[in-house]
Amino acid sequence: MILSKYVHDKNRFRAMLLGHKAAEVAIVCLLVMVKGHLGDVTVTHLVIATKTGLLTVCPALGVTFTRYARYFANRWASSAFVGFCTFFADAVVHQSHYSGRYTDAILTAIGAFLFSLAISYTPVGKQVDRLAEAFLHRHLAPQV
C-alpha cells in the first residue's frame, strides 16, 4: 500500500517538519550545551535537547494550519522562523551554560538557523521544500 496516495502533501510536509526540524534543533542544542565536547553528553543532555527540539516545532506546526504556511516554502523564512522559535524554546527549557542569561539560547538559535539553512540545500531539504510547495497553490477566480 502506498501511503502517499492517501496522505495529502500538506500533511506529509507537517510530518516531515515535525521530525526534521525537531532533530535539527536538538542536534544544535546538544552541541551548544556540551560546548562541542561530545564525550560529555549524558542522557539528561539528550532529554533537554529533545524537549527543546519538540518545543521549537510546536509553533511551526501550528502555523502550517494558517494562511501563513506558504512562507515555509522559502528556505530563508523557514530557517529564520525555526531560529526564532529555538531561542524561546531553549530559554524556557533550560538555563544558560554560558555567562549571560540568554547566551545559550542565542547561540542555539543562531546555530539552528544556520544548520536549517545548510540542510535546506541537501537532497532531504529539497524534498521538504517540494512538499512545502503544496501551500503555494492559488485558487483561481471562477470564470464568468
pLDDT in tens, 88-134: 999 998 887 778 888 888 999 999 999 999 998 988 888 877 777 77
Domain count across the chain: 1
**Residue 144 located in a structural domain:** no
Choose between 74 and 7: higher pLDDT.
Answer: 74
**Residue 141 located in a structural domain:** no
Half-sphere exposure of 21 (CA within 13 A, CB side): 30
**Domain extent at residue 89:** 7-135
User: Would you state the pLDDT for residue 86?
Assistant: 94
DSSP category for residue 65: T
Residue appearing with cell numbers 560546548 = 35
54-86 pLDDT per residue, tens: 999 999 889 888 888 888 888 898 899 999 999
**Residue 2 located in a structural domain:** no
